[in-house]
Amino acid sequence: MARKKKKGRKVRVDFRRNRQQRRRSDEWTRRYHAERDRLADERTSESVRIKGELSRKRTILVDEQDAPIVDEALWRRGIVCAVYGLICRVADETGQPWDCVVRRVLRTLLIEQRSSVTVGDRVWFSDHCREHGGERVGVIERVEPRRSALSRRDRRNREHTIVANADQLLIVASIAQPALKPHLIDRYLVAAGKGDLRPVICFNKWDLAPETVTLEQEREWAARSRREPDTLAATTAEGVITEFERLGYRCIRTSATRGDGLEALRVELRDHMTVLSGQSGVGKSSLLNAIQPELGLAVREVSTENEKGRHTTSLATLFRLDFGGYVIDTPGIRQFDLWGVEPGELEAYFVEFLPWIPHCRFNDCHHSVEEGCAVVAAVERGEISVRRYYSYLKMLEEAAARRDSA
């Protein structure tokens, strides 16, 4: 009779670090002074000790996606709505909130393979209500493979996954207060392409138009904040929007205070899971309050000294929209370092480069100093934006520097 094949495959996972050091159990001096007559017996007694690295791991079964195999009939499904330190707020299939921790072996496995549990992850968790007086408390046993992710590089040069499994990225920029930063939008577009997210660009605070972002204003702001000016700053906000619209990106002009573009924003958000991201102070929380006042998210004013936004949202949080869909409000950022984008693949995320890349003289052309580069020729003819091209060069230089230092 043929033996039944066991599903899954075995992997070795580390125990948590504080189990790897053997506690001292031999107290020869104390025993010598207390019971001298039994010293000989102690010398000949046997002891069992760990066998180095072999005993510092455990074996678990995983499936094709390296996720632990679980008995799904015993557990609940849910989606992570927020993460508070070691506690994950999980909404089950009925929308009820649960406070869950991640199983230790699962957390170890996730750290080895990718980043830990984040907002938007779809999980299986076990019910531990009986042990906590009926409160909705659980333990996350399994995290489903991610379909998409918005990630950036943190200060320790590690991947910081902001959101998982979103359908689209709403890049929120402001016309003024703080000043419009086209290069930051370019970075978000690359991150959206890398993470399989559909980008939508929202130009907020349209009530401050027709104020423009001129080169002189950008230099003045840079001087006040002691930072290098962007010598390729756009001349007008309309010029920036037109530039992105010609590339095929969906752009929305909104004003949370005046109500401009809110209906168009609702249309884009309906029946999608959308992550909102952008510079601090651009008005992400204000926009969400405008389209659904019941959320009641906290907002703060932009600093009048340096036009920097103050952090109001402290962690990513998922909200259900009354008109259909979900949004994830994320903390504002002041810089966005790309994660996992190699110099050779950066060109693929600049859509205007794609028609010209096959005509470059060299197959491995980086479109910077190579002879016979069709992309550079298109820039010189005015068929590719000079601003976008220099934005590409800046990201290319950073990607190459990270690769060389690795």
| Residue with the larger pLDDT of the pair 47 and 157 | 157
The pTM for the full model equals 0.78
Residue 251: what pLDDT? 97
For 194-203, what is each residue's pLDDT tens digit?
A: 999 999 999 9
Sign of CA dihedral 231, 235, 241, 246: negative
Residue 69 DSSP code: P
CA distances from 77 to 113, 124, 134 (A): 22, 5, 19
Count the neighbouring beta carbons within 10 Å of the beta carbon of residue 130: 8
159 with 191: CB under 8 angstroms? no
| Residue with the larger pLDDT of the pair 57 and 197 | 197
Question: Does the pLDDT value for residue 242 go beyond 60?
Answer: yes
Domains of the chain: 7-17+53-145 (2.40.50.140), 149-329 (3.40.50.300), 346-405 (1.10.40.50)
Residue 178 DSSP code: T
Residue 26: what pLDDT? 58
Copy the structure tokens of residue 307. Answer: 């036009």
Which of the four pLDDT bands, split at 50, 70 and 90, describes residue 226? very low
Strands 87-92 and 149-153: unpaired
| Residue with the larger pLDDT of the pair 107 and 38 | 107
276 with 172: CB under 8 angstroms? yes
DSSP character string of 233-265: --S-HHHHHHHHHHTT-EEEE--TTT-TTHHHH
Residue 118: what pLDDT? 93
Residue 105: what pLDDT? 73
Residue 114 DSSP code: S
Residue 221: what pLDDT? 44
Give dist(CA 346, CA 177) in Å, integer: 30
Which of helix, strand or coil describes residue 312? Answer: coil
Question: Does the pLDDT value for residue 18 go beyond 90?
Answer: no
For 341-354, what is each residue's pLDDT tens digit?
A: 999 999 999 999 99
Which of the four pLDDT bands, split at 50, 70 and 90, describes residue 303? very low
Which of the four pLDDT bands, split at 50, 70 and 90, describes residue 103? confident
Average pLDDT over all residues of the chain: 81
Determine the average pLDDT of the residues in 325-354: 93
